[in-house]
Amino acid sequence: MAGKSTDILTKAATEFATAKAGDMISKIGDKASGNGKSKGDDNKGFIGKTAQKMGEGKGPVKSMLSGAGEAIKGVFKRKGGNKRPTNIVEDCFIGVTPDVAFAAWTQFEEFASFTKGVENVTRGEETPEEELEEGQHPLEGEETGWTGKIFINRRTWKAKTVDYDPPKRISWTSEGPKGTVDGTITFTAIGDNATLMLFVFEYRSKGPIEWIGNRWRTVGRRIRLDIKHFRRYVMRTEPDELPEPEEADEIPEDAKEESDEGSEDQETDESEESEDEDDEEDEDEDEDESDEDEPDVDFDDPRIQELMEMDIKDLMQLAIDLGYDEDEVEEASEEDLAKSVAYAEENPDEEESGEE
């Protein structure tokens, strides 16, 4: 009885495994022939692509290679494609000023002399002056062509400068059949003779080889290596052999004249202000001397109050009797007369000067 049950279970297990294996083989065949579920009709699979090439009159070997290539592309094609970039962020200190670092970096045709992969760079044309917008640099919008070699593969791509602000910032976008690298670099002065360069790159791979290379972070490593090569190139090159920084925009003659006139006016104003200050100082000194000469009289003294209550004519006559000049007495105020009379009465022994 037990042996019969075992035989039944063994038979059922064998049938199940056979069915599963047949189902898996069927699915693999569908994928290879392009009959499986896929986005679009371009992916025909190994069998479909091979049959198509043979139908076009090509030999069996070339047809099978085309079919194998189509199958490999299908394996590495993933959901989302290259929409999600790989972000690469680096920084670098260089012992030159920002204008020198910016000028050296923007000489793209020199990259082949110090980087590892760049073989050739062709420069584009500057934007015509009549087409420039306000504040736009002529090199903003320049298109450059690049050729580089990575291992045994040669790649070409085009780049477009979208922001050119010397010596502070440069940004670009790129387009190529095997991927794109968009980036931004800023140049910040550190002290008198150093620059901090900040790099931000967005890399999007295309194709199986680039996808595998990106998984191994080969692009990030190559960028870090080329940044080191750039620092070595700038630091080890003689200053007179480096590209010359852009000169500041020349000031128009009329602007210079206005500036000179403004400086002359400013000098005149400063001179007048200085003279006014000197006059004020002289007046202050005169006031100080006058204060020293003025009698030290307490205006709350009863004698002052009494004199101020007198008739003005009697007060004037009293001041004249005490020796003050008649003309000065007539011009003096009642308060000054009372003060002078009180002072003369309290100090009869001092020589009468006749001053208020």
* CA angle centred on 145, ends 85 and 188, rounded to 5°: 65
Q: What is the mean pLDDT of residues 346-354?
A: 54
* Contact (Cβ atoms closer than 8 angstroms) between residue 139 and residue 129: no
Question: Rounded mean pLDDT of 209-216?
Answer: 82
Reported as a pLDDT band with limits 50, 70 and 90, residue 261 is low
For residue 92, the cross-strand partners are 197
pLDDT score recorded for residue 279: 59
pLDDT value of residue 289: 45
DSSP code of residue 17: H
Which residues have a Cβ under 8 Å from the Cβ of 22 and sit 6 or more positions away? none
The owner of tokens 């001053």 is 355
Out of 103-107, 195-199, 211-215, 247-251, pick the least confident: 247-251
Q: Is the pLDDT of residue 156 over 80?
A: yes
pLDDT for residue 1 is more than 60: no
**In angstroms, what is the C-alpha Rg of the chain?**
48
Q: What is the mean pLDDT of the chain?
A: 75
Residue 224's pLDDT is 94
Whether residue 40 is predicted with pLDDT greater than 80 in this model: the reply is no
Tokens linked to 246 = 């852009």
The Cα-based distances of 52 to 26, 39, 60 in angstroms read 21, 19, 11
Using CA atoms, how far apart are residues 129 and 136, in angstroms rounded to an integer?
10
Select from 39, 31, 35 the least CA-distant residue to 80.
39
As a whole number, mean pLDDT of residues 146-161 equals: 87
Better-scored residue on pLDDT, 22 or 103 = 103
Collect all residues with Cβ–Cβ distance below 8 Å to 196 and sequence separation of at least 6: 91, 92, 93, 187, 188, 190
In the prediction, which pLDDT does 39 show? Answer: 47
Helix pair 312-321, 334-346: axis angle to 10 deg: 40
Count of other CB atoms within 10 angstroms of residue 208 = 14
- In the chain, beta strands by DSSP E: 86-94, 118-122, 143-150, 153-165, 169-175, 179-189, 195-205
The answer to whether 158 and 122 are in contact (CB under 8 A) is no
Identify any residues that bridge with 169 across adjacent strands, giving them in sequence order.
Answer: 165, 186
Q: Which two tokens stand for residue 283?
A: 């007046």
What pLDDT, in 10s, does the model give residues 266-316? 555 555 565 556 655 555 555 444 444 444 455 567 777 787 778 888 878
Give 6-18 pLDDT, tens digit per residue: 677 667 666 666 6
Helix, strand and coil content of the chain, in percent to the nearest 5, comes to: 50, 20, 30
Q: Using an 8 Å Cβ cutoff, are 34 and 45 in contact?
A: yes
Does the pLDDT value for residue 351 go beyond 50?
no
Q: Which long-range contacts (CB under 8 A, 24 or more apart) does 74-78 make?
A: 74/31, 74/38, 74/43, 74/45, 75/208, 76/207, 76/208, 76/211, 76/212, 77/43
